[in-house]
Structure 1
């Protein structure tokens, strides 16, 4: 089994508020996240294309 990828973040907001986060993820998890993000971006592009297209005018 491969080693997990590890990311840590530490942030301080003022003197009393601090944030710590740690993420461990495998290569397969990164691939799954990449697939989800790309499908979201592609579907958003389709929605924007449909919303901004110009329809032909109908004569009444």
Structure 2
């Protein structure tokens, strides 16, 4: 599972991963609305409990 957050820490989207541990985020929130330009953080949690974090920049 991958969760996308704003800089303020608000949850934007929750994404499922495929069997290869990959996912695609199309820049939309959980309500299928296009998100604003800005920096977003992601937190990926693997089945073994390990976490991966990073930043994503959206420019529209």
TM-score range, shorter chain: under 0.3
Q: Which has the higher helix share?
A: 1
Higher RCO (Cα < 8 Å, 6 or more apart): 2
Question: How high is the TM-score relative to the length of structure 2?
Answer: 0.27
Larger Rg: 1
Q: Which has the higher strand share?
A: 2
Question: How high is the TM-score relative to the length of structure 1?
Answer: 0.27
